[in-house]
A = this chain, B = another copy of it.
Amino acid sequence: MNTGESGDIGLTDRASYNHWTELTMRFSDQDPMGHVNNAAYAVYFEVSRVEFFAHFVEAGAPVDTVLARITINFLRETSFPGTLDIGARLTGIGNKSVRSAYGIFRDELCLATAECVSVFFDTRTRRSTLPPASVRTAMQNELARSRTGARAGG
């Protein structure tokens, strides 16, 4: 089920990520199948994405990001209670968009991965926009750093 977007980055490999978020599951994340519901994973990835992007884009600033596309691959089911680790990395920067990838891990097992396209968004006009130069530079530095990290970890 390779979506072909992230090339040879191993999204199920902890070594692919250099930003981490810890998250506690909740009883009501689970559905009648007795496992964490798929939509809860979308919430988990968002927690990681918001914390990760806070390094580049200031909350409440006139330029924020909105999610334009997400692909989630569900690899293993899990259940409450417990703590999850979510890894994040940038995978590409466009003119008005940025791509990122995520993995949810329970100990060493990868439960799900996500690839996201986020669009820079003017919170006053509510339309897509170019990011400030400072944001673009910070993201380019992070992208360069994560590529080096992936190579070093490979």
- Chain A positions within 8 Å of B, measured between CB atoms, are 1, 3, 22-24, 26-28, 30-34, 37-40, 42-44, 46-47, 50-51, 64, 66-74, 77, 80-81, 117, 123, 126
Assembled-state Cα–Cα distance A34/B60 (Å)? 11
Choose among B24, B34, B46, B77 the residue that contacts A27 (Cβ–Cβ < 8 A).
B46
Chain B residues positioned under 8 Å from A31 (CB to CB): 27-28, 30-32
In the bound complex, CA of A33 to CA of B43 (Å): 15
Q: List, in ascending order, chain B residues with CB within 8 A of A74's CB.
A: 66-69
Residue of B nearest to A4 (CB): B4
Q: Which residues of B contact A34 (CB under 8 A)?
A: 32
Cα A34 to Cα B50 in complex, Å, equals 15
> Contact at A46–B39, with CB atoms within 8 Å?
yes
What distance in Å separates the Cβ of A16 from its nearest Cβ neighbour in chain B?
19
| CA of A50 to CA of B69, assembled, Å | 22
